[in-house]
Amino acid sequence: MMLLVDAGNTRVKWALVDANCGPGAWRAHGAVPHAQLDTLAAAWTAGGATRALVSNVAGPQLAERIAAVLPAGIAVEWFASTSVRAGLRNGYREPGRLGCDRFAAAIGARALAPGQDLVVATCGTATTVDAVSAEGVFIGGMILPGLALMASSLARNTAQLPQVAPGVLPALFGDNTIDAILSGLLSAQAGAIERAVAGHRATACIVSGGAAPHIAPALTIAHTVVDDIVLVGLQAVAAWTEEETGC
């Protein structure tokens, strides 16, 4: 049994998988905000995992907290971006500077849509929109503020515009301030994804992340919403490693 952990800027997502689990199929899984990380100790220990693969983009302090919660004696790999991993070549100018969550998401997207020019959008605290070639090369991508960050910035830096929360997809041209803001926010997010798909001539588009249920309905292109694409990528890395090492 393996424990997969995706520590993002807001939440820690996790899953328990074994060799019989298909992509995205977990024995158990969950997510908690950083403040509740300590509550995971019992579930992780009870899961019986002997190995852990951890992607962490939230800094060294959270890494220390994760390490303290992991079951005693478990073998841990802290996933990092490298030149090549799980059959995906990293085309970033400095491969090690690519966020490990973006690299894992790209590996996961390729596992779900092999042999295709694809775009994977992860919509969280930040929105990242990345391109992968049919030949298995991570080409690069875009980073923009996430949906909530855009909304907060607009409310904080304007005198009369309110803070809004994502809701039902409004009309393209809102006839009230709340709907006009929501339409603008969603159009900006969807527009970045659609521009990436058009520019890459992608035949597959995968959308994931906490804000995906709000952003995906604004898309006018074919797409697939996938929960926890970073965990799917870590699962693919673990499976690839098992094939290479035989363990």
Write out the catalytic residue numbers: 101
Tokens 């030149």 correspond to what residue? 83
CA-CA-CA-CA torsion sign (229, 102, 59, 145): negative
Integer Cα distance of 74 and 51 in angstroms: 5
Residue 38: helix, strand or coil by DSSP? Answer: helix
Q: Retrieve residue 11's tokens.
A: 């939440």
Give the other-Cβ count within 10 Å of 174's Cβ.
14
Name the residue type at position 98: L
CA distances from 129 to 3, 35, 103, 124 (A): 26, 28, 12, 11
For residue 86, which of 69, 109, 120, 65 has the smallest C-alpha distance? 109
Angstrom distances, CA of residue 225 to CA of 17, 95, 149, 216, 221: 21, 27, 21, 7, 12
